[in-house]
Structure 1
Amino acid sequence: MSSPSSDFIFLNEEFDEEPAKPQEFWDVLIVDDDSEIHSVTELALSNFELNGKGLRFHHAFNGTQAVDILRDNPLISVVLLDVVMESDDAGLIVAKRVREELKNHVVRIVLRTGQPGYAPEEQIIRQYDINDYRTKTELTRSKLATTMVTALRSHQQVTQLSLQSHALSQVLLASEQILNFSQLLPLSRAAIKHLAHFTAGPQQGVVCGLDDDGVEIVYGGTGEYQNVHHHHLEESALTASVKEQIKASFKLAQHQHNEHSVSFFFRAKQQQYVICLEGEHIIEHALMQYIDLLLTNVGVGLDNVLLVDRLRNVAFKDSLTGLCSRNGFIAALERLQKNTNAHDYLVLIDIARFADINEGLSHDIGNLLLVAVAQRLQGQHQQAQVVARLGADLFAVVSNEEQLPFAQLHQLLRAPFIAAEHQLHLNFTFGLCTQPHFDSSALGTLKRASIALSHAKADISHSYCYFDKQMEEQVSHRLAMIRRLREDFADGKLEVWYQPQVDLATAQPYGCEALLRWPIGQGQFISPAVFVPLAEDAGMIIEIGQWVLEQACAKQRELAQHGVDMQISVNVSVPQFKASDYAQSVAQTLARFAVPSDKIELEITESVVMDEVEQVTRTLNELKSYGIDVAIDDFGTGFCSLSYLHKLPFDRLKIDRAFVKGIPEQDNGEIAELVVSLANRMNLRVIAEGIETEQQLQFLKSIGCHEGQGYYYAQPLDGKKLDTYLKVSN
């Protein structure tokens, strides 16, 4: 039967010889030292035929000749072997050599002897797989023919078993090799060679599958098609007849065969495949089950390799734009850094306010814009060494200043981008790292470009920034500070101090503001202006803010237990106030410390108010429902809260120290007076911070400000010094 088959493993030189093709004769070896026996036997079987094939005789007159002939003619089916020749056991010696020396377990051996009554031992019959034993006088024409039929049928069975055993061993060996492949091309070439081994045909062909759109694609080929790989079938160099046969195999989901080629169709779990071999390929029908088994394993191997390719694409290619992903970019940059020159540079490109586009125009439009940016950058692929998308709206380009100057790349992105019916001008921020500053690793180089990008974002006067070493030192210092802050907070080294708030008319303290302090030894402290932003960046500000509130509650309870009735103000950060359950959390904390709700005041800045007005309004109303006061800290510095002031339930305004510092020499007094007037009109309390001189105090009293805090009265004090201060004041 002619049939298509495939295998994707390279042939191993240790493979056995290929199975033999069918013969027109049954080969029979007559071994006897009597020439007359040869003649009589040949005459008796001259008209013998089985399954349409006659006999072809070979002759040996001693044991040595017999072994030599069998060595040279492994296709001999039956040996008619005289037991007694040059020695009494010459025939038995031949049988032993055939089985043990020649390793021929297929040929059938019929022992003959001219000595009636002589018979070999039963053990010999079993050990050397003797098919039959006869005396020469028994072998009449009919009996000889019967013996021959029995021997030949036994030979057929043994041959079939041997052929199947050989096929199974090759399938197992091939399958073991198949599962070790990780690339399509070598797998495909090996599959073809294995298949050709099974079909005893030319080793020229192709392995095909289907792409995601169902179009035939050639994975790899051999012979004249060795350069055909990863081509669509129609665009490949295959002959028209081969293309048509492959298409027919896919369409009909079955094997195809003609006099010029054969194609095997087979399915695996993930895909459908066809392996086509050119030339004449003939195979025993009994071997088809082993070819099917082989194809099953080939399919598993192909599925595995394709899955690895898909995973590699997922890991190294961005699915939206088709550019390198972050992983792919890192791998490419690692390779490029082995051979760079002084004009190379890496630039990170960030789309400014891209989230606004997604929210305002939809994510679909945002995706179209990302693709448009990618296509414009990719259009420079001849000048750019690598183009990648590293994040949602972050791209990277590695190029050379001589081939693609950054100024040219910058200009390239100035033209508007088209997304559906929208034409948009985008603003970009660029962070660059030039080759002299490349790190030894790709990740290090990328980090330096990222540092430059962060500086560019922070500097609104420029859209780009080049990395220099000082930036990295600043980042290292910042990270060290964050690490130390985290350690000191965990070790309980942070402290809460308190600055008294006084009635300006009586100079008596009625409250205080809780202020976070970070001592570093020898009476030195790190400024809150430095470490509070660090805590926010490190994601610690909510935890630290909660701790400060708890410390303030504990202090308020302690003071109350000593007969001191005092409200304590606590500063609140933006991340804290944005939490949906913040008001409930504050109320629970006050309840846990048994502190009345009117004894803790929360101070928020104008930036908190303006961040998310709706959320802020909800939280403020919840706080008021719990009876908790809220003050606006640093009022007047944001210039934005006036329009919301009458809508939001505040209790007090704090005049920023910047408007107190210049009193009376500068015009700051007018702003302070305006704030006081506004607060009085809205029935809000007002407090001035940063009072340091008698002149400032008198001016504030004259404009109707009744509360204040500052060095004129007291610096921030730790808990014990606050207790002393309050005793003296009382």
Structure 2
Amino acid sequence: MLDDYAFTRSIHVMMLRRLGVTDILQASDTRQALRELQVSGGVDIVLCDLVGRDLDHLEFLQQAARAGLVRAVALCSTLEPAVSRALERTALLVGLELLGVMSQPMRMRPLHRMIQQYRQRRGESKVQPEILKQATCANDIRRGLAQGEFQAWFQPKLALREGSLTGVEALVRWNHPTRGLLLPRDFLTEVLASNLIHQMFEQVLVQGLTFLRDMRRQNTNIEIAFNLHASQMASDDFADYIQGALKRYELPGSLLIFEVAESGLLDLEPKVRDNLLRLRMLGCGLAIDDFGLGFSSLQLLCRLPFSQIKLDKKFVNTLHHPISKTMVISTLALAQSLNMSLVIEGIGSEWVRDSLLQMGCEEGQGFFLGRPMCAEGLRHWLRERNP
């Protein structure tokens, strides 16, 4: 609860507690609010007012969203419809779900409705307390790489209508000896800062190619997607490295697709463009990952040799908003016009899957369709689907 006035805050906090919300942080300014989020590890919802303020509140929401410390925002203001629509676009731009705009001071009924809708869509889980987790250091990552602790996990991609497997995405997990199974959010920043991204990628690639080779020996071909950081493709010999790996494992390039985040496509070096083209010449697919979070131009998309667009999950999480529906439909039309396939990320429910089908989407991934699993888990999953 971010509000300058202690009296107003106390009333709103009392209302939230009456609605069963007991874990509440309070702040009178943005600095205090960010500090509270960092110490606590994050919240589900921030309640604040953007109208009549300077840019501090908007900048605070951007910082909190980038750090993964908040999922949604609810505004307490009296707004004209045009301003309300503009704020919806602002919330999507900073990567947050806008739950609604309530009058100031808030009333119990609309606040209750907003809380109930959020719980139904998200459940009651809190944002992972990133700041409280043990810090990851470069030496620990080097030790983990040397010990082979980084593992490839695989998340299925399915045809939405038939439910058939169209491929899998290789995701890295760190099987840490004392901290358990760690996700990329726990170590990827330090991996990039320590220039260890290629060493980690090599281990994931080898495990993925080994899995592909084993499946081909059983007369089964599966397309695997690997995530690339733009900095990896600035290397002179990156495409040669991939070509050599394909030869060693006796695999065609058509079984591989490489995903590059849209935000990494701006101001590309000539060497990166060359490597992208060479990967396509090897038969590999190229996907623009997290589409909708960056600001790539249509001209850029036409000039680069990509074959697939992966729409970021934030638009699926807010699919009930007209803007998100428009983004899905527009991206589908863009992909079709550029002769690219479209994969929708973050499909978490049957309703989302069915809504996307009605819009004309054909392929997706998400927890509702299939969760990430280790290689043996994927083999078991495949056997159960095709006994």
Corresponding residue number in structure 2 for 1:689: 345
Corresponding residue number in structure 2 for 1:483: 139
Q: 2: CA distance between counterparts of 1:652 and 1:705?
A: 13
| 1:634 pairs with 2:300 | no
Code of the residue aligned with 2:234 in structure 1: it is K
Give the conservation status (yes or no) of the 8 Å contact 2:150–2:200. no
Corresponding residue number in structure 1 for 2:107: none
CA drift of 1:635 comes to: 0.9
Q: 2: CA distance between counterparts of 1:665 and 1:551?
A: 40
| 1:508 pairs with 2:158 | no
Corresponding residue number in structure 2 for 1:543: 199
Q: 2: CA distance between counterparts of 1:522 and 1:718?
A: 19
CA drift of 1:628 comes to: 1.2
- Determine which of 297, 302, 317 is the counterpart of 1:661: 317
CA drift of 1:540 comes to: 0.9
How does 1:405-420 map onto structure 2 within 5 Å? none
CA drift of 1:522 comes to: 8.1
Corresponding residue number in structure 2 for 1:609: 265
Give the conservation status (yes or no) of the 8 Å contact 1:653–1:687. yes
Distance 1:523 1:529, change over 3 A: closer
Code of the residue aligned with 1:624 in structure 2: it is R
Corresponding residue number in structure 2 for 1:729: 385
CA drift of 1:518 comes to: 1.1
Corresponding residue number in structure 2 for 1:88: none
Q: What fraction of aligned residue pairs are identical, expressed as a percent? A: 28
Give the conservation status (yes or no) of the 8 Å contact 2:260–2:287. yes
Give the conservation status (yes or no) of the 8 Å contact 1:610–1:641. no
Corresponding residue number in structure 1 for 2:152: 496
Per-residue CA deviation, residues 238-290 of structure 1 (Å, 9 max, x unaligned), is xxxxxxxxxxxxxxxxxxxxxxxxxxxxxxxxxxxxxxxxxxxxxxxxxxxxx
Corresponding residue number in structure 2 for 1:719: 375
Give the conservation status (yes or no) of the 8 Å contact 2:144–2:176. no
Q: 2: CA distance between counterparts of 1:668 and 1:705?
A: 14
Corresponding residue number in structure 2 for 1:698: 354
Q: 2: CA distance between counterparts of 1:579 and 1:522?
A: 34
CA drift of 1:498 comes to: 0.2
| 1:519 pairs with 2:175 | yes
Give the conservation status (yes or no) of the 8 Å contact 1:553–1:600. no
Q: Which has the larger radius of gyration?
A: 1
How does 1:115-514 map onto structure 2 within 5 Å? 478=135, 481-514=137-170
> Which secondary structure does the structure 1 equivalent of 2:221 belong to?
coil
Per-residue CA deviation, residues 508-551 of structure 1 (Å, 9 max, x unaligned), is 11210000001235894323123112111112111111221121
> Which secondary structure does the structure 2 equivalent of 1:683 belong to?
coil
| 1:530 pairs with 2:186 | yes
Q: 2: CA distance between counterparts of 1:546 and 1:704?
A: 37
Give the conservation status (yes or no) of the 8 Å contact 1:636–1:655. yes
Corresponding residue number in structure 1 for 2:125: none
Pairs aligned (count): 256
Per-residue CA deviation, residues 319-362 of structure 1 (Å, 9 max, x unaligned), is xxxxxxxxxxxxxxxxxxxxxxxxxxxxxxxxxxxxxxxxxxxx
User: Alignment RMSD, CA only?
Assistant: 2.1
Unpaired runs of 5+ residues, structure 2, are 1-61, 64-130
Q: 2: CA distance between counterparts of 1:536 and 1:544?
A: 10
CA drift of 1:566 comes to: 0.8
- Provide TM-score, normalisation by structure 2: 0.63
Distance 1:694 1:665, change over 3 A: farther
Structure with bigger RCO (C-alpha 8 Å, 6+ apart): 2
| 1:623 pairs with 2:265 | no
Corresponding residue number in structure 2 for 1:575: 231
Q: 1: CA distance between counterparts of 2:141 and 2:297?
A: 33
CA drift of 1:719 comes to: 0.7
Give the conservation status (yes or no) of the 8 Å contact 2:155–2:171. yes
Q: 2: CA distance between counterparts of 1:729 and 1:598?
A: 24
Q: 1: CA distance between counterparts of 2:369 and 2:141?
A: 31
Corresponding residue number in structure 2 for 1:18: none
Q: 2: CA distance between counterparts of 1:660 and 1:541?
A: 29
Corresponding residue number in structure 1 for 2:215: 559
CA drift of 1:656 comes to: 0.6
CA drift of 1:641 comes to: 4.1
Give the conservation status (yes or no) of the 8 Å contact 2:289–2:312. yes
Give the conservation status (yes or no) of the 8 Å contact 1:583–1:622. yes
CA drift of 1:713 comes to: 1.3
Give the conservation status (yes or no) of the 8 Å contact 1:609–1:641. no
Give the conservation status (yes or no) of the 8 Å contact 1:495–1:517. yes
Give the conservation status (yes or no) of the 8 Å contact 1:660–1:668. yes
| 1:599 pairs with 2:255 | yes
Give the conservation status (yes or no) of the 8 Å contact 1:498–1:512. yes
Q: 2: CA distance between counterparts of 1:506 and 1:629?
A: 23
Q: 2: CA distance between counterparts of 1:663 and 1:723?
A: 32
Give the conservation status (yes or no) of the 8 Å contact 2:150–2:204. no
Q: 2: CA distance between counterparts of 1:574 and 1:530?
A: 20
CA drift of 1:584 comes to: 1.5
Give the conservation status (yes or no) of the 8 Å contact 1:569–1:601. yes
CA drift of 1:665 comes to: 4.9
Code of the residue aligned with 1:686 in structure 2: it is L
Per-residue CA deviation, residues 614-653 of structure 1 (Å, 9 max, x unaligned), is 3332112111221111111111110124330011111100
Unpaired runs of 5+ residues, structure 1, are 1-459, 462-473
Per mean C-alpha deviation after superposition, the further-off stretch among 657-666 and 515-524 is 515-524
Corresponding residue number in structure 2 for 1:585: 241
Give the conservation status (yes or no) of the 8 Å contact 1:509–1:726. no
CA drift of 1:613 comes to: 4.6
